Structure 1
Amino acid sequence: MKHSLVLKMGQQLTMTPQLQQAIRLLQLSTLDLQQEIQEALDSNPMLERQEEGDDFDNSDPLAESEPSHSATSHDSTVSTSSERNPDSLDEADQWGERIPSELPVDTAWEDIYQTSASSLPVSDDDEWDFTTRTSAGESLHSHLLWQLNLAPMSDHDRLIAMSIIDAINNDGYLDESLEEILASLDPELDIELDEVEMVLHRVQQFEPLGIGARDLSECLLLQLNQLPASTPWLDEARRVARDHLDLLGSRDYSQLMRRLRVKEDDLRQIVELIQRLNPRPGSQIETSEAEYVVPDVIVRKDNERWLVELNPDAMPRLRVNPHYAGLVRRADTSADNTYMRNQLQEARWFIKSLLSRNETLMKVATQIVELQRGFLEYGEEAMKPLVLHDIAEAVGMHESTISRVTTQKYMHTPRGIFELKYFFSSHVSTSEGGECSSTAIRAIIKKLVAAENPKKPLSDSKIAGLLEAQGIQVARRTIAKYRESLGIAPSSERKRLV
């Protein structure tokens, strides 16, 4: 093989730390981004928040290249400023020239910075009362132990009760048998099975009603036994819960009427009484902390026009601290000056990344609103089919960038708050050669089921026929998939007595 020198020209993308930062900020949710900004403020002395009414010099090269969308969107962008002395002017101008006007965040780089939506912690008060015991963040186990501490009970029975509470799952049912609970206790205590069952009956009187049941029948009976004796059809409801739950589950109402010897109107009242009970009493105690959604984009209608604005409350305005920036000296290689110069460069890159994120988010959100005007005007049934490629082609970016922008980003509309990915859906063909969004089809299915006859609910085949009559060609299997995604039960389980 002969060695030779060859001159070639080519282009390649260099994943610099600044570019990695821009891409990472682009895909962060609002809550995660606020945390990232706070960490940057804590670690970089050159960064500071711009308070309301602050006036500063906009002669910084970075501020001159700041994009302007509209009056409202401009308020929500990040502003920068730097008051510099003459000694640092030339040096700062050189740094500004090295920062491009647009960061090339539109790349096919893999999403290696996956983050999840952060949840805001619930603050703990030192004082608790009865009304706060079932607040968000409290577990069912701690709620039952709190009631156990208030119950008059001997130490012997209290130990048994704690073992029983430990065996109750999150739905409120007893996972272990009484024999297993007895075997877990200290044999030297000489506890008998009757004592365990007696303490179980005490625990079953705790809130919420139905707690500590061994099966669904016992859970419903515990709740029925707490109702006033004058409650209509109480005895019949107990009979159904004790002996005929299988018939009720299969909706064999004719057999139930024969067993209970009641008429259809009477059976309807009995079933309604049972349906008011909670089959999962433990679910009343919320064990998870609330997660808050902060919309990134606000959409509103003004004079028959839909306006898209960045949420000014979701993004703090940052700037370079003019005092510290003015301390940077030209041609000074001391350790302190080098540190300040590096911090100033990082601060400007960070601000530029935030500006780029806001601009990209505005472009994508504006295009989504432009294509989904029908949804904003008329609701889900007017949703148009939309995929990432459509937005990417319209704004001139890569699909991976659109995916990052629409992940964990939310839009506040007059119809509610939606994730940007909500507006993307597949399509099915219509008889006229057009396309219909899967979101619109789900809305139509939901509307048809809500208007159906409860005695004769619509089957999947019947729904497919009704959609075909409207010119929408959907297979029965697709109807079943959409129905399950909406949480709608099959027709056999939707049958009701009228």
Structure 2
Amino acid sequence: MILMDTRAEQRQSQTLSPRLQHAVRLLQMSSLDFGTVVRDVLGRNPFLEVAEEDDEESAAALETDATEFQDSGTGDVYDGPVEADQAQASDMADPPERVSDSDVWLADGATGSRTGHDGDVSALDFMVEETTLNMHLHAQLGTLAMSERDLLLAATVVESLDDDGYLRTPLNELLGVAGLEPAATLEEMQIALKLVQSLEPAGVGARDVAECLGLQLGAIACPRQRALAREIVRDHLDGLAARDVPALARSLDAPLGEVEAVCDRIRHLDPRPGWRLSSSRVNYIVPDVIVRKVRGSWGVQLNPAIVPRVRLNEVYAQLFQRHRGAENVEMGAHLQEARWTLRNVEQRFSTILDVAQAIVRRQRHFFDYGPMAMKPMGLREIAEEVGIHESTVSRVTNNKYMATPTGVFELKHFFSRAMVSANGKACSGTAIRGLIQDIIEAESSDQPLSDAEITRQLARQGLTVARRTVTKYRQMLRIEAVGRRKRHDTEAGVA
């Protein structure tokens, strides 16, 4: 017999409010993504405006520390910086009678940040429209004489290409995509594919690397070399990738010099032809903080290029507070969002700066002597020093970069677990990677060291590291295996 009863329990749990969840997501974003979000809010919120570069008020806003949050029935409400916003609130509560609404409105005329005129030319009007791979291929199809049915089938193939120019969708799956009546046959689709493969850039529409390289072999003028290259691409692609020219020469029964020349010609082909017409926009890494040595000590400062120049439009805020009513609920939400945005900007970059300064203090030997002096460090150490949670440190260091005199590093680069050496001292993985790189750079050109030999050398220096760990670190350094290094050195000596 099943007994059912009702029981009341009390439990305490922590939950994040929607605004706090949003603040956590903003903290984890890169500075470029965060700037995009701020610009989006700036474009739709009438209480935010762009601060001029020489605006002392915007610079002082970033230095404001004291802020308070209070929970009301409608959610979290941000009161803003204590000194600035309390002074502003007092002005709103008891505005001087001698200042009229028209005077306040006209006072904003000097900024001119939100005014515009019809016919103004935007900077976007001068931007060059980028030509994508699909646009380039459709333009070529438009110059060919073909029936409307064939054009539609070829366009279907073009729209199914990946960004690198490959067709990875089976042709039989494209039959239903075309939507023709009567339905297209597989033979028609193959003809359409051949038509697309005849377009520029050469190699587009290929279904694998061998087919892509084969479509580009027409650029080889010599018939003998072209035939030899076609055989290598068709039957010996693995040997070509391994750079084993002597083995290829034996398999092809061809002179070593001729095979080497053909292999060199094949390597100059483009295995990703679609990328030639990919977006020319380059996602550059913009450092969040800059580290410089001043008077013998390392200093950290925020990169001013990533800090959004945004401020509260006090004129609009004053006018809204004077005429606030029950029908202006939406405008009140905009004002609350504006203050919350300013708070997020301030808190985000203040936290980034605090974490970066703590990292530099603990890893100052790295900046003085290089990767070999990197100390093992965990998130908890920085969290305890800054006074925040480990998860916050993890979010702050995600997609954030530090510019140093020796290069630009992600903040996560400075964290690594401790590896105990034979003498009991802790060593970081970054230091071991630097030591592996030094060992490989000092190796003999005709007798490169294997990963096992590197492991033994590290052991003689008191570092017990597994061979698979050495292999992983070598791959992280983008250093080829011992066989490839020996072959490259041999080829360079022959050349």
Would you call these one fold, judging by a TM-score over 0.5? Answer: yes
Structure with greater proportional helix content? 2
Equivalent residues in 2 for 1:424-439 (5 A)? 424-439=415-430
Instruction: Kindly report which structure 2 residues correspond to 1:290-301, keeping only aligned pairs within 5 A, or say none.
Output: 290-301=282-293
**Match in the other structure for 2:137:** 144
Contact 1:78 1:354 survives alignment (8 Å): no
Matched-pair contact (CA < 8 Å) for 1:427–1:438: yes
Q: CA deviation at 1:88?
A: 3.1
Instruction: Tell me if 1:220 matches 2:213.
Output: yes
Measured at CA, do residues 320 and 220 of structure 1 come closer, stay the same or move farther in structure 2, by a change above 3 Å?
closer
2-structure distance, mates of 1:165, 1:172? 9
Q: Does 1:396 align with 2:391?
A: no
Counterparts of 1:44 and 1:315 in 2: how far apart (Å)? Answer: 19
Distance verdict in 2 for CA 1:203–1:439, change over 3 Å:
same
Matched with 1:229 is: 222
1:33 aligns with 2:34: yes
Within 5 A, what are the aligned runs for 1:475-486? 475-486=466-477
- Structure 1: how far apart are the matches of 2:186 and 2:321? 85
1:162 aligns with 2:162: no
Pairing 1:205–2:198 present? yes
Q: Distance in 1 between matches of 2:222 and 2:414?
A: 53
Offset of 1:475 from its aligned partner? 0.2
Moved more, 450-459 or 251-260: 450-459
Q: Does 1:460 pair with 2:460? A: no
1:362 aligns with 2:353: yes
Q: Distance in 2 between matches of 1:420 and 1:380?
A: 14
Change (3 A) 1:155 1:485: same
Mapped to 2, the partners of 1:270 and 1:343 lie a distance apart of 67
Residue 283 of structure 1, CA deviation: 4.0
| Corresponding residue number in structure 2 for 1:70 | none
Q: 1:265 to 1:441 in 2, by over 3 A?
A: farther
The letter for the 2-side match of 1:472 is L
1:177, 1:340 → 2: CA distance? Answer: 54
**In structure 1, C-alpha distance between the alignment counterparts of 2:467 and 2:56, rounded to whole Å:** 64
Q: Tell me: CA distance 1:203–1:413, structure 2 relative to 1, closer, same or farther (3 Å).
A: same
Moved more, 221-230 or 402-411: 221-230
Contact 2:401–2:409 at 8 Å: present in 1 too? yes
Which whole-Å CA distance do the structure 2 matches of 1:211 and 1:421 have between them? 39
* CA distance 1:314–1:159, shift in 2 (3 Å): closer
1:413 counterpart residue number:
404
Q: Confirm or deny: 8 A CA contact 2:245 2:260 kept in the other structure.
A: no
The DSSP-based 3-state class of the residue aligned with 1:150 is coil
TM-score using structure 2 length: 0.67
Work out the CA distance in 2 between the residues paired with 1:338 and 1:174.
53
Q: 2:251 aligns with which of 235, 255, 259?
A: 259
Q: Which residue of 2 aligns with 1:110?
A: none
Distance 1:191 1:413, change over 3 A: same
Whether the 8 Å CA contact 2:401–2:410 is kept in 1: the answer is yes
Structure with more relative contact order (C-alpha pairs < 8 Å, separation 6 or more): 1
Q: CA deviation at 1:464?
A: 1.8
**Helix, strand or coil at the partner of 1:308:** strand
Shift of the 270–385 alpha-carbon distance from structure 1 to 2, 3 Å rule, reads: farther
* Equivalence for 2:363: 372
Instruction: Give distance in 1, aligned partners of 2:258 and 2:19.
Output: 72
- Structure 2 portions without partners, runs of 5+: 1-11, 68-80, 96-122
Shift of 1:30: 2.4
Give 1:388 shift: 0.4
TM-score computed with the length of structure 1 as normaliser: 0.67
In the alignment, the residues of structure 2 paired with residue 296 and residue 46 of structure 1 have an alpha-carbon distance, to the nearest angstrom, of 27
- Rounded to whole Å, the distance in 2 between the matches of 1:298 and 1:78 is 30
Amino acid at match of 2:358: Q
Amino acid paired to 1:88: A
Task: Kindly provide the CA deviation profile for residues 343-376 of structure 1, in whole angstroms up to 9, marking residues without a partner as x.
Answer: 8777666545543433322221111122223443
* CA separation of 1:365 and 1:181: change in aligned 2, threshold 3 A: closer
Q: One-letter code of the match for 1:438? A: G
Aligned residue for 2:142, secondary structure, equals helix
Return 5+ residue gaps in structure 1 as ranges: 1-10, 67-76, 91-121
Aligned to 1:472: 463
**Residue pair 1:22, 1:354 contacting (<8 A) in 2 also:** no
CA distance in 2, matches of 1:382, 1:220: 46
AA partner of residue 469 (structure 2):
T
Q: How far apart are residue 412 of structure 1 and its match?
A: 2.6
Alignment of 1:240 onto 2:235:
no
One-letter code aligned to 2:423: E
Amino acid at match of 2:428: S
- In the alignment, is the contact (CA less than 8 A) between 1:46 and 1:344 conserved in 2? yes
In structure 2, do the counterparts of structure 1 residues 229 and 197 end up closer, same or farther at CA, with 3 Å as the change threshold?
A: farther
> Which of residues 261, 265, 278 in structure 2 aligns to 1:269?
261
Whole-angstrom distance in 2 between the partners of 1:86 and 1:178: 71
The question of 1:51 aligning with 2:44 is answered: no
Partner of 1:88: 93
Q: Is the 8 A contact 2:397 2:412 kept in 1?
A: yes
